[in-house]
Amino acid sequence: MISYSIIIPVYNRPAEVRELLESLAKQICKDFEVLIIEDGSAVCCDEVVREYEDKLNVRYFFKPNSGRSLTRNYGMERAEGKYLIFFDSDCIIPDDYFEKVTNYLKETNADCFGGPDRAHASFSLMQKAISYSMTSFLTTGGIRGSKKGLEKFVPRAFNMGFSREVYQKVRGFKDMFGEDIDLSTRIRKAGFSIELFPDAYVYHKRRVSLKSFYRQVYVFGMARVDLYQMHPDSLKLVHLLPACFVIGVVFLLLSSLVCHWALLPLGIYVLVLFLESLFVNKSLPIALLSIVTSFIQLGGYGMGFIGAFVHKVILKQKVDVEAELKKHYKKKA
């Protein structure tokens, strides 16, 4: 049996698929197959896939549009590997990724695993700033990809894998936003082990504009309330931090109308963000952009969480997060 089946849902992303396949063709460990699942795209990547048929064990499938969760499930049903691996189409994979994963699996015998993400040197300034805000400990990014995080590690579907035994017992992703968190929660509740492989990182492009980034994190915040209703014990104090940030910023701004010193804590936070990003990225433009992207990341998530919590938990109204997911998914194209 082949070791790894790489499952990649695609929606109108031929250029990114080419970059991803090129990085997979350079892997040191080649004990894997690649399943490209075209989710009803208008701009297909079948020709791109054919370019790599002599370099990779790659299979291409086209199906009607149903969203990324059901598309990943479609791929799992056709996968042949011992482990099922998930990347987003906008990822680039370091050439030693599967070599590292193989070594980690020998050490840990993990049932489910995942790794962090980083910004590639080729990414735009905006992409690097967004990457910083999604991974820094000064934002909610600090709860992901760290053994010293504020919650148990939860693999995300842009860099996630689990054994065939996990799939046979827990099955696949639900058609929802936050589907990877839901699946990870069900995997843990089923008694399987979940491990962070800190050196098995991928380069993840994420969003390319502030508008699309805000929309993404806003829906993340909404989805956290859905996850709370499905898995009440999954909501931790750290998940409330963005909402507290929004409330705190509003309070400080209103207080500044009476006392200008009220803005001092906000100014200190901005300075710390700037200095850390400058140290990490070695770029003044990225450091300045990081202030904006960090406020969007915290503010968008917080606003989405507050809105969904008020409507769904307090007022008992229905908020269609799934509809938001479908709009978000299509806007990625």
pLDDT tens readout for residues 39-56: 999 999 999 999 999 999
Higher local confidence (pLDDT), 17 or 316 = 17
Q: At 76, which helix (H) or strand (E)?
A: helix 68-78
Q: What's at 33, amino acid-wise?
A: E
Phi/psi of residue 220, nearest 5 degrees: -55, -45
pLDDT at res. 145: 44
Residue 102 and residue 87: Cα distance in Å, rounded? 17
Nearest alpha-carbon partner for 82 in 58, 102, 52: 102
Is the confidence at residue 329, as pLDDT, over 50? no
pLDDT at res. 315: 86
**Percentage of the residues of the chain whose pLDDT score is greater than 90:** 77
Highest mean pLDDT among 139-148, 220-229, 233-242: 220-229
Q: What is the pLDDT of residues 231-241, one digit of tens each?
A: 988 888 888 99
Scored b (16 or more CB within 10 A) or e, 148-161 reads ebeeebbbbbbbbb
* Mean pLDDT within 84-91: 96
Q: What is the pLDDT of residues 275-290, one digit of tens each?
A: 999 999 999 999 999 9
Question: Where does the pLDDT of residue 142 fall: very low under 50, low under 70, confident under 90, or very high at 90 and above?
Answer: low
* Mean pLDDT within 30-35: 97
Residue 58 and residue 5: Cα distance in Å, rounded? 10
Residues 44/15, Cβ–Cβ less than 8 Å: no
3-state DSSP helix/strand/coil percent for the chain, to nearest 5?
55, 15, 30
Q: What is the pTM of this model?
A: 0.87
pLDDT at res. 17: 96
Is the confidence at residue 259, as pLDDT, over 50? yes
The token pair that represents 291 in the structure block: 């202030």
Residues 88/204, Cβ–Cβ less than 8 Å: yes
Nearest alpha-carbon partner for 164 in 232, 77, 236: 77
pLDDT at res. 195: 94
Residues 111/161, Cβ–Cβ less than 8 Å: no
Phi/psi of residue 53, nearest 5 degrees: -65, -25
Classified as helix, coil or strand, 8 is strand
Residues 16/89, Cβ–Cβ less than 8 Å: yes
Question: Where does the pLDDT of residue 326 fall: very low under 50, low under 70, confident under 90, or very high at 90 and above?
Answer: low
Give residue 191's region: left, alpha or beta (phi > 0; psi -120 to 50).
left
Residues 111/193, Cβ–Cβ less than 8 Å: yes
Question: Where does the pLDDT of residue 208 fall: very low under 50, low under 70, confident under 90, or very high at 90 and above?
Answer: confident
Average of per-residue pLDDT values in the chain: 90
* Mean pLDDT within 69-84: 96
